[in-house]
Amino acid sequence: MKRREFITLLGGAAACPIAARGQQSAKMPTIGFLGSGTPATQNQWVAAFAQRLRELGWIEGRTVAIEVRWAEGRSERASEVVADFARMKVDALVTSGTPTTLAAKQATSVIPIVFAQTGDPVANRLVASLARPGGNLTGLSNQTRELAGKRLEVLREVVPGLHRLAILIIVGNPAAVLERDEAQAAARTLGLDVATLEIRRPEDIAHAFEALKSRANALYVQGDMLTIANRIAINTWALGVQLPTMHAFREDVQAGGLMSYGANAPDLFRRAAAMSTRFCAGRNRPTSRSSSQPNSIS
């Protein structure tokens, strides 16, 4: 698989411990879905996930149960949800974003975890390697770090006279730090001056824009659980100061951003749905022809 491809599929996840479930084996398999944002910002990703399950013969409420929870852009909330899923002993846990996936990894080494999208899974210590992930994690990367340079190239083409760039990142997200470093290096190559705006919570967004004032011609928004959950507020502030924005997801543009460049998020969740069925196939397996093993990516 080429590194330049937007999506990286990881294999080799641990098998679901079906034998240890005892009397629960007659029940429907359960998939825990942990969204990094809110229903308002990510419902269409859940819809894509559920639709793919139906296509594969897994019907919610009939052959599979889907428990959806939201981190609401807060790492502490993600940890609470993961702990709850661990107590429920779900058959598979689907996560979105690096912080939520790290929280899931810390909470359980038994339940199979399928991350629908993260930053570099190796650099962020989610898996040992792409070829041999090891442990109980598998999933897909949106390779947002690798695309940072391309985003800036596109932004410079669209914004005439761009020479001062602001980068909005989330402190505490290791994937955000890696992406910031990549974006800063690309900005230096393009001859851009960079101002970094670091935020930890939603209340910091307004302060970041106030501190920015006229120090930038454009804004690079790192795709994080916090920025996703607050994308409308970020774009509202940016529009208020007439600051063009570059995002990681199409949904950010639909919420008022100028442009995005990155992986197709709904497609990532469709692929994650197919991967998650591997850990439920031993229980109440659908009889439809489409319930065979998920397609791999070459």
Q: Which domains can be identified in the chain, with CATH numbers?
A: 8-142+264-291 (3.40.50.2300), 148-260 (3.40.50.2300)
Q: How confident is the model over 244-250, as a mean pLDDT?
A: 94
Mean of pLDDT values over 199-208: 90
Residues in the chain: 298
Predicted local distance difference test score (pLDDT) of residue 294: 30
Exposure of 126 in the CB half-sphere (CA atoms within 13 A): 33
Give the pLDDT of residue 289.
Answer: 32
Output the pLDDT for position 176.
Answer: 87
Paired tokens of 141: 């990367």
Q: What is the pLDDT, as a whole number, of residue 133?
A: 85
pLDDT of 282? 57
The model's confidence at residue 4, banded by pLDDT at 50, 70 and 90, is: very low
Q: Is the Cα dihedral 123, 188, 257, 3 positive or negative? A: negative
Burial classification of residue 191, based on how many CB atoms lie within 10 Å of its CB (0-12 exposed, 13-18 middle, 19 or more buried): exposed
pLDDT tops 50 at residue 18: no
CA distances from 37 to 95, 195, 202, 211 (A): 11, 26, 12, 26
* Percent share of the chain, pLDDT over 70: 85
- Of 73-82, 146-155, 242-251, the range with the lowest mean pLDDT is 73-82
Closest-CA residue to 141 (of 115, 160, 123)? 115
Phi-psi region of 260 (alpha: psi -120 to 50; beta: other; left: phi over 0): beta
Sequence letter at residue 284:
N
pLDDT score at 20 = 35
Mind listing the pLDDT tens digit for each residue in 113-171?
999 998 889 988 999 988 888 899 999 988 888 899 999 999 999 998 999 999 998 88
Would you give the end-to-end CA distance of the chain in angstroms? Answer: 6
Phi, psi of 49 (to 5 degrees): -65, -50
Q: 123: how many CB neighbours lie within 10 A of its CB?
A: 14
Q: What is the pLDDT of residue 30?
A: 96
CA 22 to chain centre: 33
pLDDT value of residue 132: 86
Q: Which of 142, 143, 115 is nearest to 127 (CA)?
A: 115
Q: Residue 87 — very low, low, confident or very high, per pLDDT cuts 50/70/90? A: very high
In this prediction, residue 70 carries a pLDDT of 94
Calculate the average pLDDT of the chain. 84
HEC sequence for the chain = CCCCCCCEECCCCCCCCHHHHHHHHHCCCEEEEEECCCHHHHHHHHHHHHHHHHHCCCCECCCEEEEEEECCCCHHHHHHHHHHHHHHCCCEEEECCHHHHHHHHHHCCCCCEEEEEECCCCCCCCCCCCCCCCCCEEEEECCCCCCHHHHHHHHHHHCCCCCEEEEEEECCCHHHHHHHHHHHHHHHHCCCEEEEEEECCCCHHHHHHHHHCCCCCEEEECCCHHHHHCHHHHHHHHHHCCCCEEECCHHHHHCCCCEECCCCHHHHHHHHHHHHHHHCCCCCCCCCHHHCCCCCCC
Mean pLDDT over residues 105-114, rounded?
93
pLDDT for the residue numbered 19: 33
Mean pLDDT calculated for residue range 24-53: 87
Pair type for strands 8-9 and 137-141: antiparallel
Judged against a pLDDT cut of 70, whether residue 8 lies above it is answered with no
70 phi, psi to nearest 5 deg: -125, 135
Q: Of 173-182, 214-223, 287-296, which gets the smallest average pLDDT?
A: 287-296
In angstroms, the CA 139 to CA 119 distance is 11
3: pLDDT strictly greater than 50 = no
| pLDDT value of residue 63 | 94
What pTM does this model have? 0.79
* Residue 31 confidence (pLDDT) above 70: yes
Q: How far apart are CA 271 and CA 266, in angstroms?
A: 9
pLDDT at 26: 52
Q: Helix axis angle, 98-107 relative to 174-189, nearest 10°? A: 150
Return the pLDDT at 292. Answer: 31
pLDDT of residue 165: 96
